[in-house]
Amino acid sequence: MSQESFPAALTPHARLQGSVARIERLAVHDGPGIRTVVFLKGCPLRCSWCSSPETQRHQPELLFDSRRCTRCGACLSACPVEAVSTTKDGATHTDRSICEDCGHCTRVCVSGARRIVGQTFTVADILHEIEKDEVFYYRSGGGVTISGGEPMAQPAFTGAILKACAERGIHTALEISGYVPWGQLILLIDFLDLIYVDVKHMHDAVHRRVTGVGNRMILENIRNLSQRRPRPVVILRVPVIPGINDSEQNLEQTAGFVQKLQNIERVELLPFHRYGLHSYAATGRVCGSAAIQAPSDERMRQLANIFGSRGITVQIGG
């Protein structure tokens, strides 16, 4: 695949820009086969257990990993707004209230403790990156997955990438929270082979409290997706967060909801993990799930049985 092979239909959109957190190569947990996963910036939800808080904001954001800092002091003089200082014990501190996320400090940080997450890519840029991995897709049955953040926070950019991949015969997948107007989501359906949608809590008020938004639009979108055949394949993901949504009552309600649907491939129960704690520290934000511990394997099997006993295909992990 080359730039010259781009279909004419894409040409007007090739220069469309989007904010990208990172591109992950040789991924195996975000769809079938070996995949390229494009993580976009921006999300309307603020889940207290979010494992990638650096993708929540649309704009570029400074991450500072204090574990890698050598305290060389180069960042102090590099900051144009004097947001960087040292504490009494010599540690580096960034005043987030005045930091402009300009990236000047990252250019002088030889240890890699400071970096900016969020780069502007065009659709053509993304396709150029995808091209590098294309040989793996056909040999493994893989493809491209758009994730986030919430990729539907950038619907035109997401749609243009999916359309271009579909026109090349590349398997496409989308990972979303489901909090998106159906009118936007339906425009992408023809370019999708697989879609993952989260079901975080069945109670609207609780969902609003723990994520910042209600769940009614999400559940309605899932109902609409379940009525489409044969594509896209729909997989529901339930993040299992102890003390928040792991009660038998909530998961019984979730299983009852799924049981009434039609075109659902399976439910994936994703056990909470603590990998996001360092990301919260790096963004200078407080993690709302710092005290939560991962559920045990036995607990996950018990919860999976709630779905399995209803004849629902369920999987622990993604």
Asked whether the predicted pLDDT for residue 33 surpasses 90, the reply is yes
Beta-bridged to residue 268, according to DSSP, are 237, 315
Rounded to 5 degrees, what angle do the CA atoms 93, 76, 63 make?
50
The whole model's pTM is what?
0.91
Residue where the block lists tokens 């629902």: 312
pLDDT digits (tens, 9 = 90+) for 95-118: 999 999 999 999 999 999 999 999
- pLDDT for res 12: 54
Give the C-alpha separation, 195 to 69, whole Å: 40
pLDDT digits (tens, 9 = 90+) for 161-190: 999 999 999 999 999 999 999 999 999 999
Please give the average per-residue pLDDT across 121-144, as a whole number: 94
The phi, psi pair for 228, rounded to 5°, reads -95, 130
Pairing status of strand 143-147 against strand 119-122: unpaired
Beta-bridged to residue 115, according to DSSP, are 63
Domains contained in the chain, CATH given: 3-57+119-316 (3.20.20.70), 61-117 (3.30.70.20)
Radius of gyration of the chain, Cα coordinates, nearest whole angstrom: 21
Please give the average per-residue pLDDT across 83-100, as a whole number: 93
Give the C-alpha separation, 100 to 102, whole Å: 5
Output the six-digit token pair for 79.
């900051």
DSSP class of 41: P
- pLDDT for res 14: 78
Pairing status of strand 194-198 against strand 171-176: parallel
pLDDT digits (tens, 9 = 90+) for 249-293: 999 999 999 999 988 999 999 999 887 788 888 988 888 778 889
Which of 9, 14, 21, 31 has the alpha carbon at shortest distance from 170? 31
Cis preceding-peptide flag for 232 (omega within 30 of 0): yes
C-alpha dist (Å) from residue 267 to 29, 260, 263, 270, 308: 14, 13, 12, 10, 10
Output the six-digit token pair for 166.
């579909």
- pLDDT for res 279: 86
- pLDDT for res 289: 78
Burial of 265 (0-12, 13-18, 19+ CB in 10 A): middle
Residue 8: band (very low, low, confident or very high) from pLDDT cuts 50, 70, 90: very low
Output the six-digit token pair for 12.
């007007």
Give the C-alpha separation, 49 to 55, whole Å: 13
Sorted by sequence, the CB contacts under 8 Å of residue 113 that are 6+ apart come out as 64, 65, 66, 67, 68, 69, 70, 92
C-alpha dist (Å) from residue 151 to 20, 49, 158, 232, 248: 10, 19, 6, 17, 31
Name the strand (E) or helix (H) holding 61: strand 61-64
Give the C-alpha separation, 315 to 270, whole Å: 9
Asked whether the predicted pLDDT for residue 209 surpasses 60, the reply is yes
Lowest-confidence range among 31-45, 68-82, 268-282?
268-282
